[in-house]
Amino acid sequence: MVRTYRGELLGDAVRVAIVVARYNETITGKLCDGALATLAERGVADDAIEVAWVPGAWELPVVAARMARSGQFHAVICLGAVIKGETTHDQYINSQVSASLGQLALECELPVMFGVLTVNTLEQALHRAGGNVGNKGSEAADAALEMVHLMKQLPREE
């Protein structure tokens, strides 16, 4: 018989850290609000959520690492907005931040959610922070909860 694993969107007994970039705060604040609202809707207690604000997307991985390695959280949600400018600076930030967060998730075997918008324009960011494309902070919160419950079901190394 095939065994199937599937996560659920339940927040009971789940502790979550949210790390948010302050740069482009008009966008990231909406992402954070979306994540917090979704976690509350799913039953995550207010006192089971901790939010750390960092200067920009570049600083997300180091604080996410501290939270992930603390052993106090079931998931870490990282939120930011990198908007393309006149140079290639955004590409370096996006590449390193995504690689660092991915590596952290693997090292800690913990859901580390990539809720960082990597967009070309402010308009695109607004659409993804509660506009007509939804709220990527909310989506990251749902994905975090699903992953937490999935990880609890999976076999562990012996």
Give binding residues for (2S)-2-hydroxy-3-oxobutyl phosphate as ranges: 86-87, 128
Q: Are 98 and 92 in contact (CB under 8 A)?
A: no
Q: Whole-angstrom Cα distance, residue 156 to residue 100? A: 24
Catalytic residues: 89
DSSP sequence for 104-137: HHHHHTS-EEEEEEEESSHHHHHHHEEETTEEHH
Q: Whole-angstrom Cα distance, residue 19 to residue 34? A: 13
Q: Whole-angstrom Cα distance, residue 52 to residue 41? A: 21
The H or E element spanning position 88 is none
Residues that constitute the known binding site = 23, 57-59, 81-83, 86-87, 114, 128
